[in-house]
Amino acid sequence: MRNFIIRRLLLAVPMLLGASALIFFVFALTPGDFIDGNINLTPERAAELKSLYGLDRPVLDRYLDWLGRLLTGDLGYSMQYQTPVGTLLNQYVWNSFLLAGTAMLLYWTLSLLAGVTAAVKPYSWYDRLVTLAVFAAMSFPVFFLCLLLIKWFAVDLRWLPVGGMISTGSEATGWPLVVEIAGHMVLPVLVLTALQAGSLTRYIRASMLESLSMDFVRTARAKGLKERTVVLKHALRNALLPIITLLGFELPGLFSGAIVTEKIFNWPGAGHIQIDTLAARDYPVLMGFTMALAALTILGNLIADIAYAAADPRIRLRRR
């Protein structure tokens, strides 16, 4: 297992180099940049700024310079915010992690409970009710669901705040601050949970139905094991194997944030600044953030492989 992890880490090096080249040249060859988008600049001032930021240099030279700084942990400099990209992402990405991590914990718990129980009682009234709720949640556009919940719970009932992370002018600290942030998280977490739980529940239900129809489950029942033991210890463990792949891709999703949801609820996360920097064509931020997501995607796949080995001993034996 250790050798497998080492091989995967070594393989990640050319993958990251390829991702860096693709990311840089896609943005570098896109017409226009932050300076071109500023109509208040004179041609002389625009040329001066491009020379200052190195935007007038050949593309290949700019890539090698960006890659060299990237290897030292320097993600670049934001022209819009006038701050290093690493500092900017560190300021906002943890807010996205808090929001997405809470939603992930909720929708994985709900999906496992709903998917497993629906598979144990297929085509029952409960299964049909879960299927109806799943498709209803998946059919709502994200912006419509966000606005609908804001109208119901924030405007009409006045139970929850409209958006933001804390109330305007708030000076709360300690537990009052935690409670205040939690209140602002309710609506965006509810939206993310509703949107993600639907498809995940369908995956888990389908995987459990396939697992419950296998011979080893019938053998376990024939041995006289309790139904709860058969479902949880035998069928569920086997059904989780294809689901682990989805879990591996959740890691970059935690840090990328939900762009539309964060924007509508004015949540100060990475998804929120993505829209602002894209509109301003602040490409250093977009390149640094996309590169960080590429690294997290590779890490997520490695974690998924390790989880596979933990769930299925046959995989560990094959990799030794």
Mean pLDDT by groups of 10 residues along the chain of 320 residues = 76 90 90 82 86 87 92 88 89 89 92 91 89 84 90 91 85 86 93 87 90 87 86 84 78 74 88 84 90 87 77 57
* Dist CA 257 CA 96 (whole Å): 5
Query: How far is Cα 201 from Cα 110, in angstroms, rounded to an integer?
Result: 8
pTM: 0.83
Distances (CA, A) of 51 to 26, 58, 67, 206, 288: 21, 12, 19, 57, 21
* pLDDT, tens digit (0-9, with 9 covering 90-100), for 90-148: 888 889 889 989 999 999 999 999 999 999 888 889 989 988 888 888 888 888 889 99
Q: Contact, 34 vs 282, CB < 8 A?
A: yes
Q: How many residues does the chain have?
A: 320
Q: Contact at 8 Å (CB) between 231 and 116?
A: yes
Instruction: Report the amino acid identity of residue 20.
Output: S
Q: What is the DSSP string of 195-245?
A: HHHHHHHHHHHHHHHHHHTSHHHHHHHHTT--HHHIIIIIIHHHHHHHHHH
Break the chain down into helix, strand, coil percent, rounded to 5.
75, 0, 20
